[in-house]
Amino acid sequence: MSEQPDPAAPEEIRDYIRDIIRDDLAAGRREVIVTRFPPEPNGYLHIGHAKSICLNFGVANEFGGRCHMRFDDTNPVKEEHEYIDAIQEDVKWLGFRWGEHLYFASDHFERLYGWAEHLINAGDAYIDDLSPDEIREHRGTLTEPGRNSPYRERPVAENLDLFQRMRAGEFPNGARVLRAKIDMSSGNMNLRDPVIYRILHANHPRTGDAWCIYPTYDFAHGQSDAIEGVTHSLCTLEFEDHRPLYDWLIARLPVDMVPLQYEFSRLNLSYTVLSKRRLIQLVQDNHVRSWDDPRLPTLRGLRRRGIPPAAIRDFIGRLAISKSDGVVEMALLEHCVRELLNQTALRRMAVLKPLKVVIDNWPEGETEVLEAINNPNDEAAGTRPVSFSGEIYIERDDFMEEPPKKFFRLAPGREVRLRYAYFITCREVIKDDAGEVIELRCSYDPASRGGSSPDGRKVKATLHWVSAADSVPAEVRLYNHLFTRENPGADGDVLDDLNSESLEVLADCRLEPGLANAAIGEAVQFERQGYFCSDPDSTPERLVFNRTISLRDIWAKIQKQNRQS
């Protein structure tokens, strides 16, 4: 697994959250910076979570503090160990470590329960017998105040007795809740006596059946921050309206540390959806294969597609940390991926739609070993041997029997260069009974070894190829955007914008033989094709590669146009 990213000098990155931290340190309000990443273990992480992960771990790293990994496991109905394990694995894959600071809200259940009793004894919380529908009805609307529950003024002793009996399991789900007593006329709906404990007779992944009442996220979140000594609670903007409740609860509880909450805009990415509800729909309705489908923005999907974690960190590092919502171009993420892989990925040749070429004047039975460059941007990567013989495969798209004016690749009577090899000229086209081209007969120039001619003649195209004799068969999966629109669902149902061509499977590809040993997830560049990686479905008998990204960089073009305008 990758190491913790090197800390950046704090003065190198400027945004309002980091400026607050600098001021807190300079004024002595905080001595050590403590942040936390608090996922709920009820699903898989996606690239939107990566923004929070990189920010929370990043600022802690930059300012010499620490970031806690904490699972807010307060809803056993939706939580599973599978998600707990997957989230930890994904955060580590992204490059971050929490050391000994792994926590669960369930670690704090006893103290949270005690603090709930503290609120009851102080007259700041009460047991409500209203049904969930009745609570919603009493809550009011954005333009109308709520109404007090008829149970709001229960005596403290009665509230305490009922709460203890709730814990003992005397009541069924939904029979009673514990609510904070704040203000049913508040303009902030979150302050209209929010529920802070509810009855859930469900087995918890960590505590089993030890509890049948559970704190709500709003109660567990801030109080867990206080218990763990979190100094800066960094949340996305949807929690801004929850901050007054966060502060109200902290102010009324016997906490040693008062954490402060700050919000930032969440990540919205073009041509995708990051809504958990939408992602679940895509998986459950079989619009994608699984949670790690390379078309999904889940970290598992990005990993399977071959996106390097360093490219994701680079992408997140280029985004503004602010309170302004906006949509980030997918092209920026793609640019970061290309920029990294261009420097690190080894080059290999692969023919995705093979067309056989027979070189008639090649010495019969002879094989020649040529030298190919592994990475032109990394001299230390060296070279590799590739075998060349009288039968090879080229891309079917690199040949046209009747080419248009600006088609410079292979055609009858035309000469082209084979990468690392020789000039060849097409002499004859072989077709099947249906008139489809199935083979080309060519000649080669023995004096053009290495791709240049001693007489100085020029050719206008260089083609990649693989040897027919030792190339290996493979399935290659070409992934495109899952949606056809930048803002899926903008005019209706998001499913109406699904891209029917988001996956193309090529079953009869031919690859350099060395690719048979590629590690799962290892990135390589198929020359002239794009960046690819070996898929977990791959076996020695059946290789499978995923296209990570094509070679064309749209973002660079966008940036150039912006500079010129």
* More confident call, 562 vs 19: 19
Helix (H, G, I), strand (E, B), or coil: what is residue 196?
strand
Tokens read off for 449: 């070894």
**Tens-place pLDDT, residues 192-201:** 999 999 999 9
Catalytic residue of the set 92, 167, 266, 528: 266
**3-state secondary structure (DSSP) of residue 290:** coil
Task: Categorize the per-residue pLDDT at 236 as very low, low, confident or very high, splitting at 50, 70 and 90.
Answer: very high
pLDDT at 301: 97
Of 152, 252, 276, 396, the active-site residue reads 276
**Which of the following is catalytic: 40, 89, 117, 439?**
40
Q: What is the 3-state secondary structure (H, E, C) of 209-253?
A: CCCCEEECHHHHHHHHHHHHCCCEEEEEHHHHHHHHHHHHHHHCC
Residue 467 scores a pLDDT above 50: yes
Residue-range domains of the chain with CATH? 10-264 (3.40.50.620), 276-346+474-564 (2.40.240.10), 350-464 (2.40.240.10)
> pLDDT value at position 560?
65
Q: For 477-486, write each residue's pLDDT tens digit.
A: 999 999 999 9
78 annotated active-site? no
Q: Is 266 a catalytic residue?
A: yes
User: What is the share, in percent, of the chain residues with pLDDT greater than 70?
Assistant: 96
pLDDT confidence of residue 324: 86
Q: Is the pLDDT of residue 258 over 80?
A: yes
Residue 172 contacts residue 190 (beta carbons within 8 Å) = no
40 a catalytic residue: yes
Compute the half-sphere exposure of residue 477: CA atoms within 13 Å on the CB side of its CA.
21
Distance from C-alpha of 103 to C-alpha of 459, rounded to nearest angstrom:
64
Distance in angstroms between the alpha carbons of the first and the last residue of the chain: 43
